[in-house]
């Protein structure tokens, strides 16, 4: 008789090999392998990380990890060698990934994206640590990551938009201090930014370090609210670049708009612009002198998808699915592992 631990090892190795060899060469993005995560035990896995772990290294097939509603208390990492993964729930208010950690900005995130071509849909991603220290909910450290209809919540450094080209659409992002930070090239379209700061906390802390870098944060058609007062941003890097265009700004936005973080030398190097914004917090008459009220010509480059490579890598959700459980069932002699 073969010991059970050897049988289990054979299952893992053979199923991963089948997964890799059968589907790794697909380029049909309308079809995806679907892995179901369900805490109640009716899916392929009960934990999100377990579903990610089964995806083979150097995957090149579209993998949808469908997460049933529930609160998943786990720290989740999508490794650099596992591209083309989508994490999706049906409703962000009922599908929640949560953790509480703080301190090291690279190690404390609830969800860390290290792989290219990642997508998240309809999820809440939160770090519940609260005030007093860095507490990242989402870290994105790879190219071509997109987020649709997600709620991303923390207090300080909510999103570490670390590096790469990223797209956020119709997301709710909440925090108090520098809650969108990093040195990525990102577009935030029709997102709701809510400041929980009780006194002039900054929404952004963009970290562009060179005038030749193509990075920056662009907010298009967004909505800014707050419980008290907030600033649009402050420079984490000397050449910090942030543009708000056609965005509603509530009275929570202070008239000065921007802060230099105690480094007046950044007045001549940071690029902070506003274009056709509206609402009680959008009046530019009280803005700091070193920010810019952009003309049509000046704003034009920021109203396209160019900063994220034209957006050619953005893909619609798949419409056809191959269930992971069916693949395993049919893998060897018709017997389910």
Using DSSP's 3-state secondary structure scheme, residue 27 falls into: coil
Using DSSP's 3-state secondary structure scheme, residue 292 falls into: strand
- Active-site residue, 53 included: no
DSSP state letters, 185-216: EEEEES-EEEE--SS-EEEEEE----TT---E
Catalytic annotation, pick one of 157, 162, 183, 259: 157
Catalytic annotation, pick one of 117, 178, 183, 259: 178
- Active-site residue, 157 included: yes
Separation of alpha carbons 25 and 87, rounded Å: 21
Using DSSP's 3-state secondary structure scheme, residue 11 falls into: helix
Using CB atoms within 10 A of its CB, is residue 244 exposed (0-12), middle (13-18) or buried (19+)? buried
- The number of angstroms, rounded, from the C-alpha of 14 to the middle of its chain's C-alpha atoms is 33
The tokens for 231 are 């600033």
Nearest to 76 by CA among 123, 133, 18, 9: 123
Active-site residues, by number, are 157, 178
């Amino acid at each position: 008789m073969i010991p059970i631990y050897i049988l289990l090892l054979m299952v893992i190795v053979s199923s991963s090999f089948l997964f890799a060899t059968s589907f790794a060469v697909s380029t049909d993005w309308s079809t995806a392998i679907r892995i179901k995560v369900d805490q109640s035990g009716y899916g392929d896995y009960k934990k999100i990380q377990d579903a990610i772990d089964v995806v083979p290294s150097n995957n090149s097939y579209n993998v949808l990890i469908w997460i049933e509603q529930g609160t998943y208390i786990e720290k989740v990492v999508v490794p650099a060698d596992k591209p083309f993964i989508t994490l999706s729930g049906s409703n962000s208010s009922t599908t929640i990934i949560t953790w509480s950690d703080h301190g090291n900005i690279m190690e404390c995130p609830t969800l860390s994206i290290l792989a290219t071509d990642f997508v998240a849909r309809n999820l809440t991603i939160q770090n519940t640590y609260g005030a007093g220290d860095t507490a990242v909910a989402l870290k994105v450290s790879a190219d071509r990551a997109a987020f649709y209809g997600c709620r991303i919540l923390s207090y300080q450094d909510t999103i570490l938009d670390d590096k790469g080209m990223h797209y956020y659409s119709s997301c709710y992002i909440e925090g108090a201090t520098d809650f969108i930070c990093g040195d990525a090239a990102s577009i935030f379209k029709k997102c709701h930014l809510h400041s929980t700061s009780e006194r002039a906390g900054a929404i952004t802390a963009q970290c562009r370090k060179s005038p030749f870098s193509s990075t920056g944060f662009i907010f298009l058609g967004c909505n800014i609210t707050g419980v008290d007062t907030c600033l649009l941003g402050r420079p984490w890097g000397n050449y910090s670049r942030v543009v708000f265009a056609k965005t509603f700004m509530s009275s929570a936005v202070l008239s000065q708009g921007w802060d230099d973080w105690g480094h007046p030398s950044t007045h001549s190097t940071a690029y902070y612009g506003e274009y056709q914004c509206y609402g009680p917090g959008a009046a530019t008459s009280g803005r700091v002198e070193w920010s810019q009220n952009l003309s049509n010509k000046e704003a034009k480059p920021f109203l396209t998808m160019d900063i994220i490579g034209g957006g050619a890598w953005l893909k619609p959700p798949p419409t056809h699915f191959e269930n992971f459980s069916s693949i395993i069932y049919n893998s060897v002699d018709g017997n389910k592992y």
